[in-house]
Structure formats: C-alpha cells, structure tokens
Amino acid sequence: MDPEADPPSARPGDRSAFTVLAVGMAALGLAVGAVFPPFAVLLGAPAASVLTPTFWGACFGAGLLLAGANWVLARAVVGRRLRALSDRLSAVAQELGRSPGTWRSGRAAGHRLPVSTGDDLGRTAASFNHLLDALEAEHRFRALVQSTNDLFVLVDAGGRTTFASVSLRTVLGWPPRAVVGRRAEDLVHPEDAGAVRALVDGAGTAVVRVRARDGRWRRLDVEAVDRRGDGDVDALVLSARDATERHVLQQRLSHQAQHDHLTGLPNRAHLLNAARAQVPLRAEDPPLAVVMIDLDRFKEVNDTLGHTWGDRLLQQVGPRLRAGVREEDLVARLGGDEFAVLLPGLADDGARAAAQRLLAAFAEPFLVEGLALDVGASLGVAVAHGPEAGADDAGAGTGGDVDGLLRRADVAMYTAKELGAGVEVYDAGSDRHDRSRLVLLSQLRRGIADGQLVLHYQPKVSLGGGDVVGVEALVRWQHPDRGLLPPADFVPLAETSGLALQLTDAVVDLALAQVHRWSAEGLRVAVAVNVTARCLQDPGLPGRVAAALERHAVPAELLSLELTESALLTDRGDAARVTTQLRALGVRLSLDDFGTGFSSMVHLRSLPVDELKIDRSFVTGMLRSPEDAVLVASLVRLAHEMGVQVVAEGVEDAETLAALGALSCDVVQGFHVQRPAPADDVAAWVTAHRDRAAAQATGPAATTSTSTTAPTARPVTPTVVRAGSGPVNQPR
C-alpha cells in the first residue's frame, strides 16, 4: 500500500458503522417492547391483564424509549468518540506518510484527543495521544537524519546494508534503494575494501572512496559505531561525511608547500626532504650528487625588461633542465635564479658529466615574446658517499649531512661563477667557506632584504676654502645578534659571494634617500658611494642608478660613485661602457685608492672620471717616508694635468693636512677632519661648520686666517701654498 495515498472517501449509500449500531440498538428496544406482553404471559402473568391494548401500548412506548436511549448512547456518545479517534488516526497516518518536510514540530498538538473520563474509551484516547507523541518524535528524528548532508547506513551481521538515508542521493546521486541489500565493501573503491571490512569487524574510522552516480570518485570520512547488540538498532551504524573538497584542498596546500608557484618545480623544502631520504648513511649505500645552478646575466633581464620577462624566462628553465636528466633525478627551484638538481646514484665523474649536460641546456637563447635572451649559468657539484667510502676524495663528502652537501655544492657553484668555469666540482682543499662564514653570508642576504644596513657618513672638505664639498657613505650592518658590524666584517664576503650587486643597490638607495631628506631640510650635500668590480661588469647598473635618482628626486650631480683601479682593470670593455653611461646620467665618478692598481696613463685618460682619491696608505706615510711624499706629490700633479680633482683620504693630523695644502691638494677627508658618524650627527656638524665658515668670511679676520689645523668642530681653512701648478683645475 502506498503510504502517501489518500484514504478512501465515503461513497453515496455507504452506512457508518456507528449508524448501523444505533439502528440496531433502537430496533432492539422496539423488539423488547413488542415481545414483552407474550413473554409476561409465559412467566405466569394473567393474560386478561397483560394482553390488553393498554398494556401493549405501555410496552410499546417503553420500547420506544429504550430504542431512543440506545440510539443516543450509540450514536451521540460512543459513536462520536470512536469517530473522532478514527478521523484522527486517518489524518495522522496521511501526514506521516508524506515526505519529512511536510511535518512541522508541534503538529501533533492539533490531533490530540481530549481525555475526559477514565473508562475504556478515555484510556483509548490517552493511549492514542501517547502514540501520537511517539510518532512525532520518530518523524522528527527521521526528518533530521534525512535532511543532513551526512550519510547514515545500517549494516547487518552479514555485512549487508539494511538501510541508507536519503542524503545518499544528495551526496552521491544514488537513491537509497540502490545500496540496500548490497555488501558494504562492494560499494567502495577496490583499494579501500579492506578498510571497510575492518569497520564491519568493529568500530573505528576510515577514509574511503565511493563512486558517485556521475562516475567520479568521492572521498568519505566514515565512522562506525557497533550497535548490533542493541535490540532497538541491531546493526552496525556507519555515518559518513563527504570530504572530497577538503582532501582536494589539502592536496593543493601540500603541493604548494612543496613546489614553486612560478615554475611548478619542487622547491627547497621538497629538495631537502628528498635528499634526506636518499643521502647515504652506510658505506654500501649508493652515492648522492647535487648540482647547484645559478643563472648568469639574469639580473640584466630583470633590470632592463622587467620582472614579467624574467618570470617567463624562469618558467622555461625547468623544462630544459628536465630534458637533460634521468626520470629518477629531481629538478628544483630554490628561489630567485637559483636551481638545484638531485642525482641519486651518481659519483664524481657521473655527476660532472650530468652537470655538463645541464650546462648545455643554456647554450641556446631563451625565446620570450619573440625576443632571444642569452642567459648562461654557473654550476657547482658535490657528491655524498657513505661514511666509510671516499670521504677524502675531491668533490666527495660523508653521507648523512644534507645541509653540508648543499653547502659544498653552493661553494663549488660560487667558485665556478668567480672563475667563469661553467661547472666546478667541490674541492675541499680550496674551500674557504667555513660554517661561520656561510652562516654570516645567509644572514647578510636576509639583512639586505630586511633593511638591516645603516650608513655612516664622513665629510670631505675643500682645502681651498674650507667648504664641505660632500660626504662619503660608509655602510654598516646592524646585525640582530652581533650589533653594529664594520664593513670589513661583511663587505669582502659580499664581493666574493655574489651579493655585491644587492649590497651596492641597497647602499645607493639608502644614500639617495638621505640626500633627499637633507635637501628637504635645506641642507644640500653631495654623497659618494663605493662600487665594486663586480658592479662595473653589470650592464644594468646605470639603469638602476637612474631609477634610484628618479625615485628619490635627487639631481645626478649630488651622487658620486667611487670606483677602484682594480675594478677598472678587471674588464676594460665592460667598465668603459658602464662608466660612460653613468657619466652620461650626470653622476660624478671618482677613482678610489688611486696609486695601488698600477693603471696605465693611456687607460686613465680613456675613463670619464671627475676625481682621483689618493690611497690612505700613501697619505698617512708621506711625513715619514720620502718615497710616499714624492708619490703623493706626483699623483697630485698628474691628476691636475689630467684636469681632475684630487682627494686625499686618511688625513689624521694637522701636519699631514698642511703638507697636502702645500701640494695643492683639492679635498681632504679623514679623522682629523671628522670621523664617520650617523646621518643626524653629520648633518649637525656640516651645518655648524658652514655657519662658522660664513661667520669667518664676514668677520675682520676673514682675510688674515692662517690656521693649518682642522679640529672636529672647526672649519678647515689652512694656508694653502700652491707649488708650481698654479690654480686648481675644476672638475670636468
């Protein structure tokens, strides 16, 4: 029978059972009245008195009264109450047979029967009300189960399903009848059947795959509660929740944590995990090689074309590297333009050969937006052997230390970059990178990025009139643990590790930002920044300097870049091109440490420098060493003949200052003038110095000053005795 079918409606002519009962009771009353006189005669009553019309009439009247009473009792009392019970049962059955959503909490109150007596009918009404409450509770529970997205399945002792909630259709698309009667383990992925059998054997949890009606596999979190000993349930209750989206999200997050978002390659964390799983721990374990790869000239691409082009180039590196390795090898991007390749099972010769193949991947230019970009690479190789095998061999190391293996490959890569060798295998004999140095290098890389660099400034003063002509920016590192570090503790490290460009860019940016702040405060001061040899080989340097000048709104003439002779001699072609472009911007160029690099005069004349700085080693010794005095005098005369300004650094006493004045040196700097100091202190010194110089210029002693000393708080106004060369040539 369909539970949702409407109850049969009454047909014309149908008689109610209560009507039949009432008619019968009335007929019985009439029959009693009709047969009573003859019955009385049988009992011995005089016939003459009983069979008279009067007595017949009385009996018939009594029968009518009895029939009426029976009618009322059956129809109006018992019939009404039984009809109400029947109507309520029909209504409740009809509503309970409908879908769960049609029943509302509290609906039972409208169907309850009044209980006014304690007789059988009253107790029947009370029982109906209790039944109604139970039905409403049952229906509420059923509605709750069927409206949730969680699945509920009952499994009998034989492992077959006996019930499935309608949410099966919502989650998997299947109607409940599609799974009822089937074995639970047959409903899941074959690989998960064992987990389901374990659930059937006892309570627990599992994640299983179930095929949905659309053919896709959905992942369900399943929890089993054993209620087979419960008489009310007598089944294993499986509750399940769809965990497909959560699983997909977890996979996505796990992939993102282990892969580079730009290239899709495994990242450093993935590489470290793979290396730790394969690094040899015993002598018989196969070796593990790693190749560190750093791109050459990639920064030029970023600086000239922009990071978007650089990103597209990086996306092409991975496929090229993958094409040159085996299936079991791992290609990873460590960050920036650094890549690494893990080569399990390869010793020194095999690893070197693999590295050469990887280097060949950069022989052809990368095509980005129709533009061919020529980018090379430097590769470092290190091999880890078992603890007792080949620990002393070149390029080898003991197993178990993944960080040490990567460090050795990194050292070899930097060696290849410095030598321009393309590929280098780690050589323990030439490893200058002790652990503390590498730690400091890593900290410096982060320190540059995190803004830990600070600048101190040392004034440069004109000997002609005592004016402050500029300051030199001297970098310091505010180390989070070691405090303020001098440049000697980290600048050489940056120059030999590939951080020279980042360090120089950071110092230029800090210096120009300070010049801008000083200009906003009404203090116009030029600043000089040191540039290393590696920077002069970078064609992108002029572009970055121009961008920094524009970013800080500083005129180019307020920036001077100090270059060393050794830097100019490293690669004359690149140096000449870079310096020419810098000079075209209006930036002043100074040849630092002049006299130590043995530059040829022809070479010097080809460089567009504005200033020569005599090295402090000659200046500090000129009063004690006649050779140094002659050399300083010759350098001053040579610079003036070339039409450039001369700066003497390392002036630490008044006597040296006077001697330089006698040689017609143009500018001096050193402890005797002012020690390097933070920006605020230098600004105060420069302001006070200029104020005193202005006061002296307007005072009565302005024309008779013969001071030959330069105290820290006084302007430098020595008596200058020009020797031979006449007036000082102005900078070009």
Judge residue 111's burial from the number of C-beta atoms within 10 Å of its C-beta, 0-12 exposed, 13-18 middle, 19 or more buried: middle
- State pTM to two decimals: 0.46
Q: Is the pLDDT of residue 542 over 50?
A: yes
Pick 112 or 206 by higher pLDDT: 206
Q: How far apart are CA 128 and CA 676, in angstroms?
A: 101
Q: Is the pLDDT of residue 177 over 70?
A: yes
Q: What's the pLDDT band for 255 if we cut at 50, 70, 90?
A: confident
> For 224, phi and psi rounded to 5 degrees?
-110, 135
Q: Is the pLDDT of residue 550 over 90?
A: yes
CA atoms 505, 644, 574, 537: torsion sign: negative
Locate 632 and state its tokens.
Answer: 């300083």
Over residues 216-232, mean pLDDT: 80
- The per-residue pLDDT for range 318-354, each reduced to its tens digit, is 999 999 999 999 999 988 889 999 999 999 899 999 9
For strands 667-669 and 645-649, give the pairing: parallel
Over residues 91-117, mean pLDDT: 58
Q: Is the pLDDT of residue 514 over 60?
A: yes
Domains defined for the chain, CATH in brackets: 17-142 (no CATH), 148-249 (3.30.450.20), 261-433 (3.30.70.270), 455-698 (3.20.20.450)
- The per-residue pLDDT for range 638-682, each reduced to its tens digit, is 888 888 899 999 999 999 999 999 999 999 999 999 999 999 999
> For 486, phi and psi rounded to 5 degrees?
-75, 165
Q: Is the pLDDT of residue 694 over 80?
A: no
Q: What percent of the chain shows pLDDT beyond 90? A: 24
Q: How far apart are CA 674 and CA 468, in angstroms?
A: 11
CA atoms 411, 417, 419, 423: torsion sign: positive
- The per-residue pLDDT for range 129-166, each reduced to its tens digit, is 777 666 666 666 666 556 566 788 888 877 888 888 77
- pLDDT value of position 705: 39
Helices H, strands E: what count in the chain? 25, 23
3-state secondary structure 202-271: CCEEEEEEEECCCCCEEEEEEEEEEECCCCCCCEEEEEEEECHHHHHHHHHHHHHHHECCCCCCECHHHH
- pLDDT value of position 390: 40
Cβ contact 324:360 at 8 Å: yes
Strand arrangement of the beta sheet that strand 235-242 belongs to: 161-164, 151-155, 235-242, 217-227, 204-211
- The per-residue pLDDT for range 359-380, each reduced to its tens digit, is 999 989 999 888 888 889 999 9
Q: Is the pLDDT of residue 18 over 70?
A: no
Locate 586 and state its tokens.
Answer: 């209006």
- pLDDT value of position 458: 94
Pick 608 or 287 by higher pLDDT: 287
> For 476, phi and psi rounded to 5 degrees?
-130, 160
Q: Is 43 helix (H, G, I), strand (E, B) or coil?
A: coil
Q: What are the strands, taking DSSP E only, across 449-515? A: 453-462, 468-479, 483-485
Over residues 590-606, mean pLDDT: 61
Q: Is the pLDDT of residue 73 over 90?
A: no
- pLDDT value of position 726: 32
Q: Average pLDDT over the chain, rounded to whole?
A: 78
Highest mean pLDDT among 151-165, 397-411, 429-443: 151-165
Q: Is the pLDDT of residue 449 over 50?
A: yes
Q: What's the pLDDT band for 24 if we cut at 50, 70, 90?
A: low
